[in-house]
Amino acid sequence: MPLIDIGANLTHDSFDHDREAVLQRAHAAGVTKMIVTGASREHSPKALLLARTFPGELFATAGVHPHHAVEYTDECDAEMRELHAHPEVVAVGECGLDYNRDFSPRPAQRKAFERQLQLASELGTPESRKPLFLHQRDAHDDFMAMMKNFDGRLGPAVVHCFTGTRRELFDYLDQDWHIGITGWLCDERRGTHLRELVRHIPANRLMIETDAPYLLPRTVKPQPSHRRNEPMYLAHIVEELARDRGETLEAVAAATSATAMAFFRLA
């Protein structure tokens, strides 16, 4: 079952000692393509470098996560625009709002998000805008309002690592946005509400991701002592999705891979 991991933080320093082995294990587990998340000024160029080192297997996003919003200066904006000139960079982000931890002040978050939405609205032609790789946590109303300000000016969007409410999910689906599901679904302590919600996501709007090295699926047995997540564990998310949606493993794998290929224009 060829799988596509649409969100893996492979530039994280926990992978520095064995990154190629991580990629080999992923490939052996059927993960044929991975989108390397760029989420800061430091790591977005590193994501591009990885994508260029492993052409056809790795691709990159380029953006600034709300945790790093204070670094989104004019110079940063110019750097992002330069990164997006490379074909290996297939999405704008990770960008959005995070009012859960407030690692950056909320006004700075909104400013950085708006600037990245503006960047996304200017890349390519109206028919070929780059997709958006979005983050939202505890900021739904502001997030929706800011996206609405760019109605008709953006390409496709995926709300990555969806862990939200029924209302949030249907607000996103009403906008024809895509949804990224992680190992949060496999967590019997905090992911149980997702098991009913994922049934409502149309197959052509559903994608899967590990968010490695974070969110190791709790269904991995035995749990590795280091607790680091890897793309090779993506199949655990497929298994949970298939069970919750009442579909076969093969159907979920095929549908999520086809959706990712189309969304990121990987074909």
The 3-state secondary structure of 129-155 reads CCCEEEEEECCHHHHHHHHHCCCCCCC
Q: Are 130 and 120 in contact (CB under 8 A)?
A: yes
CA 187/CA 98 separation, integer angstroms: 21
Backbone angles phi, psi at 16, to 5 degrees: -65, -30
Other Cβ atoms closer than 10 A to 62? 34
pLDDT at 171: 98
pLDDT at 106: 97
Which residues, at least 6 apart from 17, have a Cβ–Cβ distance to it below 8 Å? none
pLDDT at 126: 82
CA 246/CA 190 separation, integer angstroms: 21
Contacts of 100-103 with C-beta under 8 Å, sequence gap 24+, read: 100/137, 100/138, 101/67, 101/137, 103/66, 103/67, 103/68
| Closest CA relative to residue 208, chosen from 191, 175, 176, 231 | 231
pLDDT at 200: 98
pLDDT at 225: 84
pLDDT at 125: 84
pLDDT at 79: 98
Q: Return the structure tokens found at 178.
A: 């895509």
| Interior angle at CA 98, CA 73 and CA 234, nearest 5 | 105
* Claim: this prediction has a pTM higher than 0.85: yes
Place of tokens 């990885």: 50
Domains of the chain: 3-263 (3.20.20.140)
pLDDT at 1: 84
Residues of the chain with pLDDT under 70: none
pLDDT at 110: 98
